Each structure stands twice: as C-alpha cells, then as structure tokens.
Amino acid sequence: MFGFIALNKPSKITSHDCVDRVRKILNLRKVGHGGTLDPLAMGVLPIAVGKATRLLQFLPKNKTYRALIRLGVQTITDDLQGEIVKSQSASMLTLEQVEPLLHQFIGTIQQTPPIYSAIQRDGKRLYNLARQGKTVDIPVRKVYIEQINLVGWYIGEFTELEVDIVCGPGTYIRAIARDLGTMLNLGGTLARLTRTESCGMKLSESITLGQLKTEIEQGNFSLISANIALQHLNQILLSETDGKRWLQGQKIVQDLRTLSVSGVVRVYQPKERLLGIGNIVKFDDYQVLMPKVVISNE
C-alpha cells in the first residue's frame, strides 16, 4: 500500500493512538502521521501509508483551524484539560474590545509554546518536565499566522469567541488563546479545537476510523495518491535510462539546462510512475537534479 489518508481524528485520543488503530485496520506496520493534534483536538490528521511515510515532509505546510476561545479562565495546559489557575467573570467584554487584538497575532510573531507540549528541552519533552513540577525555560519560537477570522461571539459569564485560523507549522492555537486572555488581563484558554485543513487535506474530504474500517471490510477503500497529495510541487519526467540511474541514487545532469523549474520537484518516469523527490540545483551554466528521496510505488 502506498498513499495517504485524510483521517478525521476524534477527540480524547492521541495522534499516536490514531496511527496504531490505522495499523491494525490495515494490518500494516509502516504508517505515520503528518502533524500532531492534541488529544482534545479533532479534525484532519494526515496519515501516510507504506513508503509514503517518507514523503510526509514534502506535503503542503499551512494548516487551518476552527477554535473556540474561552475568556476569563486560565489553566496550566492552556486548554480545558488542565487545572484552572485563574477564573473571573468576562461577561462585561465587548466585541469592540477583543476584535482589534486579534490583528496583533497576524504575520510572523514570537510565540511561547505551552509548557504542556511535546517540544523537547535537553532531550526531554516539556510535558514530562511540567508533570514533574520542574521549572523550565520554554524556548520562544517564530511562527507565521496568515489569517484570523471571527466567526462567532458568545456572551456569558465566560465570554467565548470562535475563530478560523490559517497558520504555518509549529503554531500553537492554545498559546493564542492564552495570550489573548493575557492582553485582556482576564485569562484565556482553548475550549475546543478542530483542524479543518492540514497538508492540503480538508475536513470535508476526511474519513473517520469507523468509516475506514467499514471501507476496508467492504473492499472499497482507496488511498489518496501521492500524485494528488504532492500536486503543489512541480514535476519533471525522466527517460527510462535516467530513471534507472535515479533509482540508484545518482545525480542527473542531462537535459536539465532548459528546465524552467527549480527547487524541490516530483520525479517521474512515463505512465506516472513516481520515482521520488529531487532538488534542482542551479550552477553557473547548468542544472543538476539531486536526489532527496528515492522511492518507487511499484
């Protein structure tokens, strides 16, 4: 088996749990995922099957989320899974106070990830250090947020807002909820999170674990092909001779000087046989196709 699954991850299980369940359903060991979702989060979890696990790093990077942020509450995990450390009424808030603050998150920003996260510090996961009660200097990281659009405003004792967020890899939505609460001096936490798009796969096109099992049992399951998953990359077609050299891990120089593309590309032989991923490197008077991942789906 060679390809991808757009899995609709349920809440209350980990991304690794999803991989384990897919392995059992497919009766296949080589399964991986493209981008961890927190246990409470739901939505698109890209799954790679077989040799396609080697291609996960080349899938589109941007992700889209639908997030419900609760104001007036702060927890140790920055979501409702953690112990509440601060609570006060946010019923007096107005949309006019909150909406302008959302614009401050747009663009490339410095973000401090939650202490309860899978980031490693000195070889140890931050969440393990936090559970041990250890004080840790959390590394600040640069993340990119393309859009934050308000889709809902719910007034109550703990006023909530619902937003759609388009962002780059490594962005913590929990941190956005926490930081917005800090700006308002009220506290904020993530109440619900659904990933609606990841690695080019959409929630509307995803399947649940139950649907996957049923389709396998009925014999009508099909994987998302690598051709579709990697269609954002330019492609080049090699001759049979160059294709054999490529599969041996050799650089390809012939017939590349007239190429109009550069950078990371899909590499094919006739009949849409995917050979892998390469990188076209320009020199003064010629170009070379350098192998990055050599792979064949046959």
Place of tokens 């209350």: 12
Q: Find out whether 252 and 245 touch, Cβ atoms under 8 Å.
A: yes
Give the C-alpha separation, 59 to 229, whole Å: 7
Q: Is 4 exposed, middle or buried (0-12, 13-18, 19+ CB in 10 A)?
A: buried
Give the C-alpha separation, 43 to 283, whole Å: 44
**CB proximity list for 208: less than 8 A, separation 6 or greater:** 7, 8, 10
Q: Find out whether 274 and 250 touch, Cβ atoms under 8 Å.
A: no
Q: 96 vs 92, 99, 173, CA distance in Å?
A: 12, 6, 22
38 is catalytic: yes
**Beta strands of the chain (E only): which ranges?**
3-9, 31-33, 42-49, 63-71, 73-75, 84-87, 107-111, 120-121, 124-125, 141-154, 160-167, 188-198, 201-202, 234-237, 263-269, 273-282, 287-294
DSSP strand pairing (263-269 vs 234-237): parallel
**Beta strands of 157-187 (E only): which ranges?**
160-167
Give the C-alpha separation, 18 to 27, whole Å: 14
Q: Catalytic residue, from 38, 78, 179, 242: name it.
A: 38
Q: Any idea how long the chain is?
A: 298
Active site residues: 38
